[in-house]
Structure 1
Amino acid sequence: MASTDSASSASEPASTPAPFTADDYRARMERAAADAAAAGLAGVLVAPGPDMTYLTGYRPSADTERLTLLVVPAAADAGDRPTLVVPALEAGDAEHAPGAPALTLSGWTDADDPYALTAGLLDTGGRFGISDNAWSLHLLALQRTLPATSYRGLSDVLPMLRAVKDARELARVEAAGAAADAAYESILTVRFAGRRESEIAADLASLLLAHGHSQVDFTVVGSGPNGADPHHEAGERVVEHGDMVVLDFGGLKHGYGSDTTRTVHVGEPTAEERRVHDTVREAQQAGFLAVRPGATCQDVDRAARAVIEDAGYGPYFIHRTGHGIGVTTHEPPYMIEGEERPIVPGMCFSIEPGVYLPGRFGVRIEDIVTATETGGRRCNNTPREMAIVE
């Protein structure tokens, strides 16, 4: 089992990974169809967003009121290719999507009724999974057109649609993690004291881009009492000597997410600050060691939470231990009590316990971890010990 708490220096693959092919997207849609059949669905309906990007490689130029919908019949209806219903003015872009060779494109003009067109592709009494981010405008129109159909959110009926990554996806997640590690190593060299949180956040964003990210999703800089807010937005507070500072940042590189957190200290910490940081670091390691064959998602949460509770800080750990990551930075699976789903090789998720003392300071340590046949493999490998900054 890969259990070493590595503190090795970050390194980044220099090469750009080969793009996914039409065969890759065809295989993903076939898996989605098989999963839909196993879940008792007639098919899945995918709106523009991360599910559509994952299944087809298509990113519409804009999410508008015009219906764009991928219809994937369940495997029981084999013989029907997935169909992408798309406005005629967007059809040219759709034809060049990487997964287009595996699709049937069905264009419609503003003079057409796109819901009647879509209805012709659906089982009139079927039960369908639909993207969580689908516009209610479109869902309600489909229900009016086909009143005997029913719909469930994809995160409810097919929560693991994107959860298990293949080797090429894992390489992208690992490259994103290495780039985030490099950004962290660089931020340790800048001055913290006397600067605003927003300035340090801007530095982090620039470093993520410099190390190959195409998109920066968040740069949390929570100094002193602001660190006790897990989702603090970097603001105008000036960082002071003696502050604990939570740094949580990430985005997309090669289309896949990074997300890491380290907590640093400006100058020498107090004994209590060291104790809290050590507790969180031990909890994070315990969660990592809980990633093993036969474990469930809640086992990771329980392992990390037990360390914090035993140290007396249980009431101050106020969020789940982790979340999945892939083409978005938050997706299933979730490391939380009550999630009995087994961890399987290829899952990628965060392990990020924290302690938040209101009005005083907070500590969080986060790595992205990939589940393997024998345990866990970290995608973030910068030191988890407290770094002292100026």
Structure 2
Amino acid sequence: MNGTTPAPFTADDHRDRMARAVRQAAEAGLAGLLVAPGPDLTWLTGYTPTAETERLTLLVLAPERDPVLVVPTLEAPDAERAPGAPALTLRDWTDGKDPYAATATLLDPAGRYGISDNTWALHLLGLQRALPGTSYASLTEALPMLRAVKDPAELALLAAAGGAADAAFEEIRTVPFAGRRESDVAADLAALLLRYGHSRVDFTIVAAGPNGADPHHEAGDRVIAHGDMVVLDFGGLKDGYGSDTSRTVHVGEPTDEERRVHDLVRAAQEAGFRAVRPGAACQDVDRAARAVIADAGHGEHFIHRTGHGIGVTTHEPPYMVEGEERPLVPGMCFSVEPGVYLPGRFGVRIEDIVAVTGDGGRRLNNTARDMVIVD
């Protein structure tokens, strides 16, 4: 089930990504981009420091200048081995020297730069001291679609991650639920994700009975009982790309009301999926799913957005939410995950990752969306 190891991204892949980022920065009126360790740096260069420390590591991207990675001297050997290193110039600095003064020579003294969201305040303040005439904008606000449109290799990795999560669900539905703690089932889910090729598990929500009405419930010591509805929401990273899926199961036979609510959420999820097509606005996906739930009288019980993007992180732009008018583009990947949450009683959520195609959408999760009965 793990499949073959995918070919790594090459220096040319990373060169193309950095060139695209520079073009987008210029179109946004920015002098360039400053990228600290985190998902943006990994995506752009293939470099992930072994540990994030107080020492400055920063990728500097600007028009008409080769990409430069400012890196501590002791980390330079690792940076030189990164897949994107041949497309970079490394500028290392040693302890006792001022890394901000060294970085300042690469920047426009009056420029406005996009800076990655997870940059330490220590480093941003250091740059401002070195170049008080510069200004900065959050990368997510300035270039929210930087990583949103996936290429075919990225889509293949996301599909493989989705398939691995599906395999984990197919197996977890066969284990006993009744009489076990939520945390026990969550541990089983985490182990299955790892068995099916994930390198990292980001979350394993197991929310039984009334806990299912809390969309981000942390699996705890509640003992799952016969008659419980159980929301399962789980995912992580496989070969550097994310999975995220939700299914709601029932321990024993459900009541008529529980079936109606589950069927309602399934219909809403289908409506959201059917709204996916190039040129549609992100908010159209949210509106389609939400209308089904609102028309059934449960509008107040759908309390979150319909979806979020996914890629090298499990939550990233674009977001399927009212007010987001950005058009869908082939290659975008995001969740479609409506839910109904009845406080003190139960909740239902059904989630698939969906990729925008040339004429609609393609699900990257393909397990049953019908009510699943577990023991």
**TM-score normalised by length of structure 1:** 0.96
Matched, 1:109 2:107: no
The match for 2:211 is 226
Give the Cα separation in 1 of the matches to 2:66 and 2:141: 24
**Alpha-carbon displacement from aligned partner over 1:102-155 (angstroms, at most 9, x marks no partner):** 000000001210000010000110000000010011101111110110000000
**Is the 2:2–2:196 contact (alpha carbons within 8 Å) kept by the matching residues of 1?**
no
Q: Which residue of 2 aligns with 1:5?
A: none
Matching of residue 14 in structure 1 with residue 6 in structure 2: no
Distance 1:247 1:269, change over 3 A: same
Matches within 5 A, 1:1-390: 12=1, 14-73=3-62, 77-78=63-64, 80-390=65-375
| Runs (5+) with no aligned partner, structure 1 | 1-11
Corresponding position of 1:8 = none
Q: Give the whole-Å Cα distance in 1 for the aligned partners of 2:294 and 2:279.
A: 24
d(CA) in 2 for partners of 1:294, 1:70: 33
Q: Tell me how far apart the structure 2 counterparts of residues 307 and 25 of structure 1 sit (CA, whole Å).
A: 42
| SS at structure 2 position matched to 1:15 | coil
Q: Secondary structure at the match of 1:82?
A: strand
Q: Structure 2 length normalisation: TM-score?
A: 0.99
Question: How far apart in 2 are the matches of 1:188 and 1:35?
Answer: 45
Alpha carbon RMSD of aligned pairs, Å? 0.6
Cα distance between partner residues in 2 of 1:163 and 1:254? 18
Deviation at 1:53, TM superposition (A): 0.3
Shift of the alpha carbon at 1:293? 2.4
| 1:134 aligned partner, one-letter code | T
Output the CA distance in 2 between the equivalents of 1:14 and 1:120: 47
* Greater relative CO (CA pairs within 8 A, separation 6+): 1
Contact 2:159 2:364 in 1 (8 A): yes
- Paired with 1:17 and 1:130, the residues of 2 have a C-alpha distance of 31
Aligned-partner Cα distance in 1 for 2:268–2:129: 51
Unpaired segments ≥5 residues, structure 2: none
For 2:185, what is the secondary structure of its paired residue? helix
Measured in 1, the distance between the counterparts of 2:157 and 2:5 equals 9
* 2:10 maps to amino acid: T
Identity of aligned residues (%): 75
